[in-house]
Amino acid sequence: MFTNKAKAFGMLALFGAAGLAASVATGDGASDQYATLPSSIQLTGVVRDFKARGDSGGHPDFELSPSGGMTHTVNMVQDELDQNGKPVYRSSGVKCNSQAKDSQGRPRISDRSYIGAKTGDVAASLGTSAMGALTSAEQFGRWFTDTAGVNVSRNLAITLVRQPGTNMYTFNDRTDAFFSNRGGFFPINGELYGNYSNTGKNFHFTYELATTFIYERGKGQVFTFTGDDDVWVFVDGKLVIDLGGIHSAVSQTVELDRLNWLVDGREYSLKFFFAERHTTQSNFRMDTTLKLRNIDPPATSALFD
């Protein structure tokens, strides 16, 4: 991705941490009221590797230069997952000129009927022209599905670490022991289809995570993602974070108490879909107060060729 992505990511990461941390009283001898929580949460998903457009057998959406430009693009996927729990193509997207924000200034998804409004909310400003961020519904359907001759896959685990004195869990490629030495979120350098051109890195892949959590009404549960490129998050099958397009690092937060159909004490799914589609950067950060539970991912198809 773009050369300014690292700078943008750093600014957003600082903003996210400041805006989201559920902190406790500080001072000498202050106790950690969340000390009984696990120190970390490990989640295992599936990473799928693709060849770039222009390469033999390449996928046309990877290393794509959208006709509308490389920028945060929304409304690329439908608001609900399909019967197989996968995102559904909606359009090639429209430009997000400015994000919706809550009263704390945190970016959020543009208004949806199933997400409650609050005093102080600011609406998004969206464009109307097609962005060309996807080539077709058929090609998009292969992003998160093992497809012989199109992608290869393997399992990938990430670890969210509880921040001291809080109930906030964070995965940050800039501080994670494995990824910090790779200069970003590059989980499959030298693996599967291999690195792109002479970059020394594998830039063209998707990552899919499925997890569950218990909804606790009034506890301020939140989930935030900061990074690039495309990211969609669904709770109970409904879209709650929409960060589509090939862009520099951007952020959105979902407050679970806004999801007015959730019932206190019940378990719900959270599904996360990520794509890295373009050189030269890959940024990935999660911050959440949800007690996410690992789900065994499906068998992968790394033998596909």
- Reported pTM: 0.90
Checking DSSP bridges between strand 40-50 and strand 205-214, what pairing results, if any?
antiparallel
Contacting residues for 148 by C-beta, under 8 A, at least 6 apart: 301, 304, 305
Residue 28, pLDDT score? 41
Q: Mean of the pLDDT values across residues 259-264?
A: 97
Distance CA 66, CA 155 (A): 30
Residue 74 scores a pLDDT above 60:
yes
- Is residue 239 a part of any domain in this protein? yes
Average pLDDT of span 257-266: 97
- pLDDT for residue 25 is more than 60: no
Q: Per-residue pLDDT averaged across 11-15, rounded? A: 43
Residue 120 lies in a domain: no
**pLDDT score at 296:** 85
Provide the number of structural domains found in the chain: 1
Q: What angle do CA 109, 111, 114 make, to 5 degrees?
A: 100
Tell me the per-residue pLDDT of 158-173, one tens digit each, with 9 for 90 and over. Answer: 999 999 999 999 999 9
| Residue 204 included in any domain | yes
Residue 11 clears pLDDT 70, i.e. is over it: no
Distance CA 99, CA 93 (A): 15
Question: Residue type at 201?
Answer: K
- Residues of the domain holding 206: 5-16+39-64+151-294
Query: Domain for residue 281, yes or no?
Result: yes
Inform me whether the pLDDT recorded for 92 exceeds 60: yes
Chain centre to alpha carbon of residue 61: 18
Query: Is residue 237 one of the residues assigned to a domain?
Result: yes
The stretches of the chain forming alpha helices (DSSP H) are: 5-20, 137-140
Q: What angle do CA 288, 292, 295 make, to 5 degrees?
A: 140
Position 101 in a domain: no
Whether residue 73 has pLDDT greater than 50: yes
Extract the tokens encoding 92. Answer: 């090639």
- 72 lies in some domain: no
Let me know: does 246 contact 264? Beta carbons within 8 Å: no
Is the bond preceding 296 in cis, omega lying within 30 degrees of 0? no
For 22-48, b where at least 16 C-beta lie within 10 A, e where not — what string? beeeeeeeeeeebeeeeeebebebbbb
Least confident of 29-33, 216-220, 226-230: 29-33
pLDDT at 6: 45
CA angle 111, 115, 116 (to 5 degrees): 100
Q: Is the pLDDT of residue 148 over 60?
A: yes
Mean per-residue pLDDT over the chain, rounded: 91
d(CA 299, CA 153): 9
The answer on pLDDT for 256 being more than 80 is yes
Residue 270 domain-assigned (yes or no): yes
